[in-house]
Amino acid sequence: MAATAFRFHPAAFFSAHPGEAGAKRPLHHCPPHRILVPRRACLLRAKSSNGLPQIGASFGNTNVPAEVLDGRPAGDGPPEQGGSTVSITVVGASGDLAKKKIFPALFALFYEDCLPEHFTVFGYARSKMSDEELRTMISRTLTCRIDKRENCGDKMEQFLQRCFYQSGQYNTEEGFAELDRKLKEKEEGRLPNRLFYLSIPPNIFVDVVRSASRTASSSSGWTRFIVEKPFGRDSESSGELTRSLKKYLAEEQIFRIDHYLGKELVENLSVLRFSNLVFEPLWSRNYIRNVQLIFSEDFGTEGRGGYFDNYGIIRDIMQNHLLQILALFAMETPVSLDAEDIRNEKVKVLRSMRQLKLEDVVVGQYKGHTRGGKSFPGYADDPTVPKGSITPTFAAAALFIDNARWDGVPFLMKAGKALHTRRAEIRVQFRRVPGNLYRRNIGTDLDTATNELVLRVQPDEAIYLKINNKVPGLGMRLDRSNLNLLYSERYRREIPDAYERLLLDAIEGERRLFIRSDELDAAWGIFTPVLRELEDKRVAPELYPYGSRGPVGAHYLAANYNVRWGDVTGDDGSF
């Protein structure tokens, strides 16, 4: 054998984990258990993102069990030839979310070989467009990851060739019947599975579900609908929406998306808790003083004022994204990683929460501001916002879970638009060390410098723990430092967008990261009374300048519970 022949060297493979600095990068990044290419060997190993065997991943299986069909009878469809296929129809394809998130996420999955071998993407909307025009529109928003440029152009072209368009109305069946005809053509006699993504305004969700489910459901495979928020605007309207959807769909067919559940750090929350002995024993009122869930954006509602004014920040961010994170944070250990076990625990914790009271809420609205010669418009300056609107663009709230684990622990939420920074994080402030030996050592006030665990969801994903330690030297002076897991330093690969994970889960039939209807009911139950009171009493929001840190009222609210917001102190250890 020639001296230059390749030799397998185990160290090259085992010296580091895939994705870590120093690791050899695999050819494709779709984790092996998520590759949906319908090879039988792959199918038998098909597992969902929770690592469990996945009944929904039925590609190539001709004896489809009833549960895989999401409640639909098998056998009345076309004869199968050559396995199965998945058609993904983006309803509202001409819209902002479709262009910004859904098509790029589908392309990323395709690039990573995570989509099944046979798949088709359809755009559906009222706008008139040819297939070519849809492809041009989509191509403007497709990008390859920074760390993956190989064959990027070819892959984009291959992806675009699988994209088609059907124009039609939302409230009639003709357009969807035509879509059905085209879908059948592309399915070419394979077992047809169909996913509809409702990327449309909420007032037409039911129309679309009615028309599409009647005329464009799969005859023998599964049919699923991803429904975007908002799921109603209070308990009543949400209940009504659920009842209407369930006239046409079984609960198993409805995938209510909350894209925060697809974010990497939110996924990691449970891993951190349940796979590290150092955290779980501390995860209760015995050691935790308060928990803070913070969301801020450094831009206003520009362009979305019409939608936003009907909802406001509490419905837009708190009742869903922040509350979902809270539920994952506070739930008891689930029986397993199965979707129903996890969702059961989330429901329990949500149902243990106290209804939010008006005195535990502060609302604000941003006003115009000029900085460095540049003018930033106020919320009320947006021409799509009704004159005199008192819709909050900022809110802070103190919530409580009345169960044995969390009795008396304030869960503080803060969410706002047009603030000084874009950030989402979870902050856990621990109690002070009783009888601390070092309380007299200068440098830090140990009663306030308690440990704090921060999960920074975005930007610059990180998990860090603030600790007190000795400043090196001959004296005894204490200082605060961060034990820091900064993802960009630890992992070389780019973090997938939340929509990629969620789309893949919906295709696989994994429901763990989607909201069940009883979770939704419980979530609305916490917020509906205060939302009603805010509106009935026309509570005026405290105005704050565009680009500021928000209303001072948020600090008074926190102070009522002896809490200081963690994000107003430096992350470098200073307090």
Of 535, 556, 534, 553, nearest in space to 544 by CA: 553
Site for ligand NDP in 281-310 (CB under 6 A): 307
Contact between 201 and ligand NDP by CB under 6 A: the answer reads: yes
Q: Do residues 356 and 545 make contact, with C-beta atoms less than 8 angstroms apart?
A: no
Question: What's the min distance (Å) between Cβ of 49 and ligand NDP?
Answer: 21
Q: Which is nearer to ligand LXAUTJHC, 210 or 315 (CB)?
A: 315
Candidate ranges 222-230, 347-355, 406-414, 461-469; the one touching ligand NDP (CB under 6 A)? 222-230
Contact between 382 and ligand LXAUTJHC by CB under 6 A: the answer reads: no
Q: How far are the Cα atoms of 24, 25, 27, 501, 539 from residue 496, in angstroms, in the given order?
A: 19, 16, 16, 7, 40
Candidate ranges 89-97, 338-346, 417-425, 505-513; the one touching ligand NDP (CB under 6 A)? 89-97
Give me 24's structure tokens: 């050899």
Q: Which is nearer to ligand LXAUTJHC, 260 or 329 (CB)?
A: 260
Q: Catalytic annotation on 118?
A: no
Of 68, 60, 75, 55, nearest in space to 220 by CA: 75
Alpha helices for 383-497 (secondary structure H): 487-490
Q: Which is nearer to ligand NDP, 117 or 228 (CB)?
A: 228
Site for ligand LXAUTJHC in 215-274 (CB under 6 A): 259
Single residue of 112, 117, 228, 510 touching ligand NDP by CB under 6 A = 228
Q: Strand 191-198 vs strand 163-167: parallel, antiparallel, or unpaired?
A: unpaired
Q: Which is nearer to ligand NDP, 212 or 331 (CB)?
A: 212
Contact between 316 and ligand LXAUTJHC by CB under 6 A: the answer reads: yes
HEC string for 160-220: HCCEEEEECCCCCCHHHHHHHHHHHHHHCCCEEEEEEEECCCHHHHHHHHHHHHHHHCCCC
Of 446, 401, 410, nearest in space to 428 by CA: 410
Question: What's the min distance (Å) between Cβ of 527 and ligand LXAUTJHC?
Answer: 15
Site for ligand LXAUTJHC in 274-303 (CB under 6 A): 297
Question: What's the min distance (Å) between Cβ of 269 and ligand LXAUTJHC?
Answer: 16
Question: What's the min distance (Å) between Cβ of 179 and ligand NDP?
Answer: 14
State the Cα–Cα distance between residues 260 and 524, nearest whole angstrom.
17
- Paired strand residues for 465: 453, 483
User: DSSP string of 70-110?
Assistant: TTPPSSSSPPP-SSEEEEEEEETTTSHHIIIIIHHHHHHHH
Interaction partner, residue 49 (ligand LXAUTJHC, ligand NDP, none; CB < 5-8 Å by kind):
none
DSSP label at 553? H
Of 414, 435, 417, nearest in space to 425 by CA: 414
State the Cα–Cα distance between residues 259 and 267, nearest whole angstrom.
11
Q: Which is nearer to ligand LXAUTJHC, 231 or 329 (CB)?
A: 231
Q: Which is nearer to ligand NDP, 151 or 171 (CB)?
A: 171
State the Cα–Cα distance between residues 541 and 363, nearest whole angstrom.
5
Nearby residues of 188 by Cβ (< 8 Å), 6 or more positions away: 81, 82, 85
Contact between 508 and ligand LXAUTJHC by CB under 6 A: the answer reads: no
Interaction partner, residue 125 (ligand LXAUTJHC, ligand NDP, none; CB < 5-8 Å by kind):
ligand NDP
Contact between 125 and ligand NDP by CB under 6 A: the answer reads: yes
Of 512, 514, 506, nearest in space to 114 by CA: 506
Measured from each CB, the residue nearest to ligand NDP is 95
Query: 256 in helix, strand or coil?
Result: strand
- Paired strand residues for 543: 365
Q: Which is nearer to ligand NDP, 302 or 338 (CB)?
A: 302
Contact between 436 and ligand NDP by CB under 6 A: the answer reads: no
Residue among 29, 118, 259, 321 flagged as catalytic: 321
Candidate ranges 197-205, 283-291, 293-301, 474-482; the one touching ligand NDP (CB under 6 A)? 197-205
Candidate ranges 228-236, 265-273, 390-398, 480-488; the one touching ligand NDP (CB under 6 A)? 228-236
Question: What's the min distance (Å) between Cβ of 302 and ligand NDP?
Answer: 12
Name the residues that contact ligand LXAUTJHC, by CB under 6 A: 259, 297, 316, 424
Catalytic residues: 321
Name the residues that contact ligand NDP, by CB under 6 A: 92, 94-98, 125-127, 170, 199-202, 204, 228-230, 307
